[in-house]
Structures are given as C-alpha cells and as structure tokens.
Amino acid sequence: MASADDAELEQQVAQLLRDFRTRTLEELSGDFERLIYVASLRDYNTGRYHHYGLETRYSEEAVDQGLRQSHAQVFERLLATPLKEQTEDLLSFFESLKVERTRLVDAWQRLRSYQVLPPEGSHPLARELFERNIEIMLQVLRETDLWPLLHDPHRDSNDLP
C-alpha cells in the first residue's frame, strides 16, 4: 500500500511534468533540442536531474523523478520518429546554433558527445539504434550530394550531381 508521502510525491511529479512540458519543452523547436536540453539537466557525476526554477516549487525528489520521466519520453518519441524527420530535426537544431553545418557535423562525429543524450537505464538496443541513427544522419548531412534525397525521397540517386 502506498503511503501518503508516496501519493504526494506522485502528484508533485505529475504536476511537474505538465508544468515542464507546457512552460519549457513546448517552447523548444524540436525533439533534438528537447532531448539535448533535458539531458543537460542531468548531473553526470550523480545521475540526478536538477532545475533551479522547478526546485523552487517542487521537492528535489519530484524534480529528479519528473525530469527523468520527461527525458525518457522525449528519447522514446525521437526514436519512434522516421529517420528522415529525425535528420530534418537535427539539421534544424544545427541551423539554430548559427554555426557552419560542416563544423557541427565534424564535431559531433569526432567527439561523439551525442552518446550522453539517451536517458540512464534506456534499453541497450534503443541506445544502439539512437547512436547508429545519429551516425547515419551525420553522414547524410556531411555528404551534400545526399541532401536532395531528404527533400525528394523518390528521386533516383543516379540523378544527383
């Protein structure tokens, strides 16, 4: 049987999730931006999530649990998105950074910092799929000859320059 403290924590987490989704996540332009943002709220030394604004209204435990759940939801939604749409979303994120696309693609391929983006405890196959998808997307974004295929998937690759 759940205690009153457990029920109160559950209510806080549910309210926090609604608050965080409407006030923060919906303001971000795509799932990659959302995933990168939520992952950045995780302390890589402890694995706990922190958000100053939320911690002024909710307990630390509710913030950690709520952001952990939000991270998993964003990650799962991104993985369920077709690869073409993921690539367009990643490109949109890159363009929002106002840095040359080639430089960003090179840094992502070299540093592989995207490996910290999946939530802790995600299934190893989901992590592998995510990483392989990123590698494919980066290759597509690097190879400018492949870029037109994103915009016209029925185009014959033999017609490309």
pLDDT tens digits, residue range 60-107? 999 999 999 999 999 999 999 999 999 999 989 998 999 988 899 999
Structural domain of 61: 4-159
The pLDDT value given to residue 102? 87
Rounded Cα gap, residues 73 and 147, in angstroms: 29
Q: Looking only at Cα atoms, what is the longest distance across the chain?
A: 66
The pLDDT value given to residue 3? 73
* Coil, helix or strand at residue 70: helix
How many domains is the chain partitioned into structurally? 1
The pLDDT value given to residue 160? 47
Question: What does the pLDDT average to over 15-34?
Answer: 96
